[in-house]
Structure 1
């Protein structure tokens, strides 16, 4: 993609939300001056929350017992809305109607923001966004954290053709190994 190099993650590492927040720091400062719009696009936005299930731990010699608990943390959508300076336009995409409904609630809680929620297949939505916009003065950050191996190569080619969208792509190594194994 274009622009300054972005921080990369070790393949086996799935960044926590606090690490993802660091990715956003300084994004606007790295954009060349001829870009007057900075967008955030989250193609598998989920609900805006991450649910963490902590299993029960029994007491042992080194640790106290901990009951089973479920914790809600901010997901990438909420983290992006908290970035300062703000993104000029935010697009949340998710194919699941329940996720889109949760994202619409998040949009309603942020009426001062320009947020679009797209309830559609991410590949189709991304290609539509690329085709429908001029990228001469717009820079975007695309966050791809698919549920599996749903991102099509044609979608990545379309995104790359803009020369204005930086991609942060988290993908499951198990799917990559499976894909390589099927082609051997």
Structure 2
């Protein structure tokens, strides 16, 4: 019978939402708080957020994990990991614990992550929480891409409509114009040479 490694024990404790085991493991190995996991280079909090394990997320924050410490490669925050996987309760909890709504790049934008996660409820929560919904991005892979165009490209029309209506301050005519322009942007990005 082999003994499981500390990381394997942490994985099990997070998945099972075993608060006692989580507390015990991080007390015995506090250096694990600073570790980037082999799971996308994220922190243990990012990993728990990705899985939607709310009780594990609470426990990790209680023992000192920073909600604004992102992954090793792109600094993707735990809120993006939760949003991209449709975990509304975790997103809500992270927001309540002062998660930063980073819009410095499309991969760091929780609103884009919520679109990927196909979660209209998370999109609405992020809008209500003050995320900058008008930011657009230009890179090798996208031009003038805002959240509305991104949602349309991903086939998430309800998410696009929600953002457009929000950006139009509830004005249906303006929202319709924003959706039309976003559709053009989506088409331009889809047919780049």
Q: TM-score range by the shorter chain?
A: under 0.3
Q: TM-score, normalised by structure 2?
A: 0.26
Query: Which structure has more strand as a fraction of its residues?
Result: 1
Greater helix proportion: 2
